[in-house]
């Protein structure tokens, strides 16, 4: 199994800045998001990775390239939670008709359920079982939080307990033989 799994949430997009749920809509980074991604380059440059994976979405691929990683493998299993009918809608707007809604507790009508996301995140993690060293993943807010939850053998719905800002680095590793969080939501990477 991989020694460390590094997660990078993509840089800012127009919709992430506005709090709009973005899954399949393939938005580019804003100017600020591009700058955020460039700032990641020196943070990640001193670390070697056995494999670098991106979500197939443009915002994740752009973040990887601007952070210095041209040679990546796109994997749809680390794409963002499919928000279905809530694509492009903010949480406060959804809660006007569905009080208390979260993607963690309710899923997304016309999109993915927690069970759907669990299946693909588990498939992704199983694919890392024979890869030694460090793996770097450029992904999304909810998807990365789901990866962390499943790394810790928690239900994906527990991903809601992890906050995750744009263009931040998180590291999942091991502590005394158990999977652990080594660093979370850091704009400067691990210390």
Residue 100, sorted as left (phi over 0), alpha (psi -120 to 50) or beta, turns out to be left
Angle between helices 58-66 and 31-45 (to 10 degrees): 50
- The C-alpha atoms of residue 101 and residue 164 are separated, in whole angstroms, by 19
One of 4, 12, 80, 112 is an active-site residue; which one? Answer: 80
80 is catalytic: yes
What kind and span of H or E run contains 62?
helix 58-66
Residue extents of the structural domains in the chain: 4-186
Residues 60-81 have pLDDT tens digits of: 999 999 999 999 999 999 999 9
129 is catalytic: no
The CATH classification number of 4-186 equals: 3.40.50.1240
Residues 126-157 have pLDDT tens digits of: 999 999 999 999 999 999 999 999 999 999 99
């Amino acid at each position: 199994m991989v020694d460390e799994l590094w997660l990078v949430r993509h840089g800012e997009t127009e919709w992430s800045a506005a709090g709009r749920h973005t899954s399949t809509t393939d938005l580019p980074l804003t100017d600020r998001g591009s700058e955020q991604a460039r700032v990641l380059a020196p943070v990640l440059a001193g670390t070697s990775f056995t494999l670098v994976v991106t979500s197939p979405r443009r915002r994740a691929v752009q973040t990887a390239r601007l952070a210095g990683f041209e040679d990546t493998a796109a994997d749809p299993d680390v794409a963002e939670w499919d928000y279905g009918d809530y694509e492009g809608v903010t949480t406060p707007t959804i809660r006007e008709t569905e009080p208390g809604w979260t993607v963690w507790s309710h899923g997304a009508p016309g999109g993915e359920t927690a069970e759907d996301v669990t299946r693909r995140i588990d498939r992704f993690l199983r694919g890392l079982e024979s890869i030694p060293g460090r793996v770097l993943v450029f992904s999304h807010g909810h998807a990365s939080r789901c990866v962390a939850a499943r790394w810790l053998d928690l239900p994906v719905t527990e991903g809601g307990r992890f906050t995750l800002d744009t263009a931040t680095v998180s590291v999942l590793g091991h502590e005394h033989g158990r999977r652990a969080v080594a660093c979370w939501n850091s704009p400067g990477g691990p210390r």
